[in-house]
């Protein structure tokens, strides 16, 4: 199994924190450990031997930061400022030939969540937090049997059962589906798609087994705003 980390964006909603610094390199503690370092350590702890990091904004800083990590391969997305996450994932798919973990560099999750994820069966395994959501969260809608019906920011918050964490496990059998569906979406002339757009289309594909994991009792933080960053340092800075 390999892992692919999305680290191409600028993180403009963090203001001066990320004027020149990629969000993934924000420090978590006084020893200089970063958001990216946390995720690299967790992935290594669960036994991942190959990690692809898709970069974009000020890629050279990330390249310098991890140049001595033999398990990491950098994939530079020169179109990072013109596409969304699906575009960056598409750049990495040609380098993946086995089951893979997907994550955003700015999402920090307890080790136990990763352990549950790697031990779960399914073509697409998606952890979520069962909670009330607002407009901005990537929301999940489930039926009474815990089957995934929708994964989108667009659904009304009161219809959602919780928030998707932004980390996932995908089987190698889904790689052609990701490639083909991404190309179909891009051919519309719009590059501004999330990875979840492919998952949403897969919901109607009976051959793809999608499983959701409720991780309510564990900790995770998605760092979008300053308050998220401060919480990440508090929870994961040690």
> What domains are there in the chain, each with its CATH number?
2-236 (3.90.550.10)
Q: pLDDT digit string (tens) for 130-182? A: 999 988 889 999 999 999 999 999 999 999 999 999 999 999 999 999 999 99
| Position 216 confidence tier, pLDDT thresholds 50, 70, 90 | confident
* C-alpha separations of 112 from 60, 116, 221 in Å: 32, 6, 14
User: Considering the entire predicted model, what is its pTM?
Assistant: 0.94
Rounded-to-integer distance, Cα 74 and Cα 76, Å: 6
- Please give the residue that has the higher pLDDT: either 73 or 217: 73
Mean pLDDT of the chain: 94
Mean pLDDT of 54-73: 96
Q: What percent of the chain has pLDDT over 70?
A: 100
Task: Report the half-sphere exposure of 105 (CA within 13 A, side-chain side).
Answer: 28
Rounded-to-integer distance, Cα 90 and Cα 94, Å: 8
Q: pLDDT digit string (tens) for 114-136? A: 999 999 999 999 999 999 998 88
Residue 59 in tokens? 């890629």
| Position 37 confidence tier, pLDDT thresholds 50, 70, 90 | very high
For residue 238, pLDDT over 80 is answered with no
Q: What is the pLDDT of residue 11?
A: 78
Residue 46 in tokens? 């669960």
Q: What is the pLDDT of residue 114?
A: 96
């Amino acid at each position: 199994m390999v892992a692919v980390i999305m680290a191409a964006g600028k993180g403009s909603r963090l203001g001066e924190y990320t004027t020149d610094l990629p969000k993934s390199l924000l420090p978590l503690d006084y020893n200089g450990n970063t958001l990216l370092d946390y995720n690299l350590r967790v992935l290594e702890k669960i036994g991942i031997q190959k990690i692809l990091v898709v970069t974009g904004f000020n890629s050279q800083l990330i390249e310098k930061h991890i140049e001595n990590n033999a398990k990491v391969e950098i994939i530079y997305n020169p179109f990072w400022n013109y596409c969304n996450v699906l575009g960056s994932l598409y750049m990495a798919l040609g380098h993946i030939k086995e089951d893979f973990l997907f994550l955003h560099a700015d999402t920090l999750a307890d080790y136990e969540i990763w352990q549950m994820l790697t031990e779960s069966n399914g073509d697409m395994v998606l952890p979520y937090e069962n909670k009330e959501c607002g407009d901005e969260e990537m929301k999940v809608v489930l039926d009474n049997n815990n089957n995934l019906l929708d994964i989108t920011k667009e659904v009304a918050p009161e219809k959602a059962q919780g928030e998707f964490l932004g980390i996932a496990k995908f089987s190698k059998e889904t790689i052609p589906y990701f490639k083909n569906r991404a190309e179909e979406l891009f051919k519309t002339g719009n590059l501004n798609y999330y990875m979840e757009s492919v998952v949403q289309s897969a919901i109607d594909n009976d051959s793809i087994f999608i499983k959701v994991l409720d991780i309510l009792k564990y900790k995770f933080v998605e760092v979008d705003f300053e308050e998220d960053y401060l919480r990440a340092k508090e929870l994961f800075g040690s």
